[in-house]
Amino acid sequence: MEKRNAIYPGTFDPITLGHLDIITRATKIFDCVIIAIAAKSNKELLFTLDERVYLTKIVTKHLSNIKVIAFNDLIAKFAKVHNVNVLIRGLRILTDFEYEIQLTHMNRYISPTLESIFFMTSKEFSFISSSLVKEVAYYGGDVSSLIPNSVNKALTAKIKI
């Protein structure tokens, strides 16, 4: 039977429990989930690409059917290169939906066979974003129940620099 693979793209700066929730649920549906980490972003990034890849690998090491791959290209092209035609995206709040409509149509414009499918983020993580986590941590707030332990350690160390 043909393998059902999917790509979960993002900047993961850093990966949060919200992302991990989506990844874990996706691994139960797909044979392999490629976590595609974007090298660049319009947002200012705190962690280097290598650090984001490393942290993502560490916090997903218990999952056997995932791959973590960095990319510096259109996600539609990356998907083609890896012969995958499903993109996974998470939806948290209404504004995500508006942004996702744009992304989905643009990706389909570039690659008409590329489908996007959406997971509702579990409600306990629906208020998390990587930027908010970084901001709260920067001012000394406790984000330990929003991100994995190893990410919390890396974030604390990064902020001290």
Q: How many CA atoms lie within 13 A of 50 on its CB side?
A: 0
Is position 40 annotated as part of the catalytic site?
Answer: no
Q: Which of 52, 92, 116, 134 is catalytic?
A: 92
Choices 25-33, 51-59, 102-110, 137-145 (CB under 6 A): range interacting with ligand COA: 102-110
Interface with ligand COA: number of residues (CB under 6 A):
24
Does residue 154 interact with ligand COA by CB under 6 A? no
Active site residue 150: no
Residue type, 36: A
**DSSP string of 96-142, one letter each residue:** HHHHHHHHHHHHHHH-TT-EEEEEEPPGGGTT--HHHHHHHHHTT--
Catalytic, out of 43, 61, 105, 153 = 43
Give bridge partners of residue 7 from the DSSP assignment: 34, 87
Give the footprint of ligand COA on this chain (CB under 6 A).
9-11, 13, 16, 18-19, 22, 38, 41, 43, 74-75, 90, 92, 103, 106-107, 121, 125, 128-131
